[in-house]
Amino acid sequence: MKTIDITTDRLTAALGRVEGYVDLSKKGRRTAIAALCLLPVLVWLLLYKYIALGYNLFLSFNEMGYTGETSWVGLANWQELLADPVFGRSLFNTIVLFGTIPVSIVIALGIALLLDKKFPGRNAFRSLFFLPYITMMVAIAVIWQYMFKTQNGVVNHFLLQLGLIEQNISWLGDSTWALVAVFTIQVWKTVGFYVVIILAGLQNIPEQIYQVSRIDGASRVQQFLYLTLPLLKSTIGVCLLVGLVISFRLFDLITVLTGGGPGRGTEILLTWIYKQAFQFGNFGYAAVLSVVMVVLTVAFAFVGHRFQRSGYL
């Protein structure tokens, strides 16, 4: 706090030498200081976000070679979007993997309710569940690649031992099962992250509320449905919005685990953008796909935000 005060005093002294600053009111001076502190962040956003998005939109109407020279092609890149069968598959897979968000949140809610109780080793269990989230995705993909092997894979071995399957499943050799494998890994990785957020929300609920409800005769189920869930509304909303961003960041997992295959079965928008740009040199069409991905992200975030505020969550 002392360091911040000293920095603010120096900034105020520097602004004091600026013409017109001394004539501002106290509120105006605070606004000027806040604007000056925010200026570096705003410049960064302008250069690396908004200008980059604008250039990407411009590039979607052009064709660019490896030398950086552009040539105007109009709507040709957008017409290619309609004729690209892989685009439909990648869009479908991207939306399907959004399903990992509610599944992970439901599992995390159950785990968080258990970890919210007092028992020996509670902190160790919290760290254990959070560990997959902070582990490098490439390392996770390599480990799960061995676990999902058709022959001698750990997953098939346990499923056979439990009697859930009669023969080995070709997890990474079949497009449907490969997508299921990616879905499973993403849920396993993100559950710990949601557990931490939901635990923080649970610990902010006053214990007195539950004490009063028990006096009134409320059961544990009623407490969960009518107290815990409504009071976790904002926390679950945060999980949903953050989950949308996390779901788009599956590039490294899919690249290492399946490479987008088999037969483009696990291709998502992000991996298809990368291949169009850096494998096929089709930068204009990659820009079109990038615009679609940005619009899709904003649309889902807007719907999630509206859903949160509507009272249904």
Q: Under 8 Å CB-to-CB from 159, ≥6 apart: which residues?
A: 165, 169
The tally of domains found in the chain comes to 2
Q: Under 8 Å CB-to-CB from 246, ≥6 apart: which residues?
A: 101, 190, 193
| Span 87-131, pLDDT tens digits | 999 999 999 998 999 999 999 999 999 888 887 877 888 888 888
Closest of 211, 201, 210 to residue 232, by C-alpha:
201
Residue 89 maps to a domain: no
Cis peptide upstream of residue 120 (ω within 30 degrees of 0): no
Q: Which of 39, 59, 79 is the last residue of a domain?
A: 59
pLDDT at 2: 47
pLDDT at 16: 53
Residue 228 maps to a domain: yes
Residue 281 maps to a domain: no
Q: What predicted TM-score, i.e. pTM, was given to this entire model?
A: 0.83
Closest of 117, 127, 98 to residue 249, by C-alpha:
98
Domain extent for 258: 98-267
User: Side chain identity at 111, as an amino acid letter?
Assistant: I
Q: Under 8 Å CB-to-CB from 227, ≥6 apart: which residues?
A: 205, 209, 210, 213, 218
Q: Where are the alpha helices (DSSP H) in the chain?
A: 2-16, 26-45, 51-59, 76-83, 85-97, 100-115, 122-134, 137-147, 154-162, 175-203, 207-215, 220-223, 229-231, 233-248, 251-257, 269-274, 283-309
Same domain? 129 vs 203:
yes
d(CA 240, CA 300): 10
Quick check: 213 and 230 in contact, CB under 8 A?
no
Same domain? 29 vs 104:
no
Same domain? 32 vs 108:
no
Same domain? 124 vs 46:
no
| Span 120-161, pLDDT tens digits | 877 888 888 888 888 899 999 999 999 999 988 999 999 999
Per-residue confidence of the chain (313 residues) as pLDDT tens digits? 444 454 555 655 555 555 455 556 677 778 878 888 888 898 988 888 889 889 999 999 999 877 778 889 989 999 999 899 999 999 999 999 989 999 999 999 999 998 888 878 778 888 888 888 888 999 999 999 999 999 889 999 999 999 998 999 999 999 999 999 999 999 999 999 999 999 999 988 888 988 888 888 888 889 998 999 989 988 888 898 888 888 877 899 999 999 998 988 999 999 999 999 999 989 999 999 999 998 988 888 787 777 666 655 5
pLDDT at 276: 93
Same domain? 173 vs 115:
yes
Same domain? 140 vs 251:
yes
